[in-house]
Amino acid sequence: MLIQCEEREDEYETAFEEERQEVMSDLESLKNDLDDRIDEISSRLDDAGDEADEDLEAAIDELRDDRSDVERAMDDVKNASSDTWESVKSNTEDLTDRVNSALDEWSDRLQDHFDDID
């Protein structure tokens, strides 16, 4: 009976570690997407007019804030125990949804500015 409990615990721990790695990979990808978008906007900022300039600066600030949130979530995931995992995972999923929505929203808004610049 004790061996079965240990085997289940090992299986649970293995599944927990695999899921943690998957979440970390997703967060790393999201962070890279944010970095790419920040770089893209920064490179086009010099060509923007004053009105667009303000919007682009605001976009960069918001995306940097989102990036900081993603980095904090990555720390939370790294430090999560199997006892705290469900809460950390739920918070991470909410963050991922929010940041992806923000990226989509900024993409639409910024495309208008880039069309005006080009």
pLDDT single digits (tens) 68-101: 999 999 999 999 998 899 999 999 999 999 999 9
Tokens of residue 94, six digits: 């909410």
Could you read off the pLDDT of 26-47 as tens digits, one per residue? 999 999 999 999 998 888 777 7
Question: Looking at this protein, which amino acid is placed at residue 101?
Answer: S
| Rounded (5°) CA angle 89-92-98 | 145
* Cβ pair 100, 31 in contact under 8 A: no
Is the pLDDT confidence value at 116 over 60?
Answer: no
Q: State the Cα–Cα distance between residues 36 and 101, nearest whole angstrom.
A: 16
Q: What was the pLDDT predicted at 107?
A: 82
